Amino acid sequence: MRIVYFENVCKEYVLGTDRVQALKDINLQIEAGEFLAIAGPSGSGKSTLLNLIGCIDKPTAGKILINGQDTSGQTPDQLAELRARTIGFIFQTFNLFPVLSAEENVEYPLLQFKELNAQARRERTVKFLDIVGLTKFARHRPNQLSGGQRQRVAIARALATHPKIILADEPTANLDHQTGEGILQLMKQINRESGTTFVFSTHDAKVMALAERLIQIEDGQLVEAHAVL
């Protein structure tokens, strides 16, 4: 089952009097449960592609389906709802709230789900902190955690909403080699056990090597897409 579908997608930005074409005629399908990497040099368009998958941005032209829903014509509120219930985000800078504990950071996105009471939110928070191995650090704030631990909190937060897709933007960029390898193996394990789709934007050769499929983008165009042997 395809969970992401792009048909002739283009994205332009206006910079002053100039129009910059960030993406050109992108055709792409991502199947549910894939562990996929998007690679390319800085400015190639991979972050724009990730933002379109994440419903953070809208295309200038073309058609995008996310989990079977056509995103064109949807209001910002509708896109926000789709994003909240379908997509989890992991960033290279972790993006945790410094004044909240690890467990409060994980619980935070669940507060918008009115059907979840405090007990249900608590159960999910405990479950996903356990999955990432941080049960003992639940009350720690980000400045009391290592970089790898903070990224594990970010993974737990992304998973807590039960998303279909996890978008990971350079998730190992601020981690040392050994810690980054551990984070990647954790995400691969979650992918295998839960069937959650992972899409990475990356320069990291380790991420590319671990991906089941590698998409390469250059100057806003897909130049190669292949299974990793």
> What is the CATH number for 125?
3.40.50.300
pLDDT digits (tens, 9 = 90+) for 40-63: 888 889 889 999 999 998 999 999
Strands 2-15, 18-31: parallel, antiparallel or unpaired by DSSP?
Answer: antiparallel
Contact (CB, 8 A) for 115 and 178: no
Collapse the DSSP code of 210 into the 3-class scheme (helix H, G, I; strand E, B; otherwise coil) and give the result. helix
Domain that holds residue 74: 2-227
Q: Count how many Cα atoms sit within 13 Å of the Cα of residue 163 in the half-sphere of its side chain.
A: 29
Give the chain's radius of gyration (CA, Å).
18
> Do residues 57 and 6 touch, judged by C-beta distance below 8 A?
no
Query: So what's the pLDDT on residue 92?
Result: 84
Task: Indicate the number of domains in the chain.
Answer: 1
Could you report the per-residue pLDDT of 91-120, keeping only the tens digit for each?
888 899 999 999 999 999 999 999 999 999
Q: Nearest Cα to 183, choosing from 114, 24, 191?
A: 191
With contact defined as beta carbons under 8 Å apart, do 168 and 199 qualify? yes
pTM: 0.91
Taking residues 217-223, what's their average pLDDT? 91
Alpha-carbon torsion angle 87, 211, 154, 89, nearest 10: -20
Q: How confident is the model at residue 131 (pLDDT cuts 50, 70, 90)?
A: very high
Confirm if 191 and 35 have CB atoms less than 8 A apart. yes
Look up residue 138 and give its DSSP letter.
T
Which amino acid is present at 129? L
Question: What pLDDT, on a 0 to 100 scale, did the predictor assign at position 86?
Answer: 95
Q: Are 13 and 19 in contact (CB under 8 A)?
A: yes
- CA 66 – CA 89 distance, rounded (Å): 15
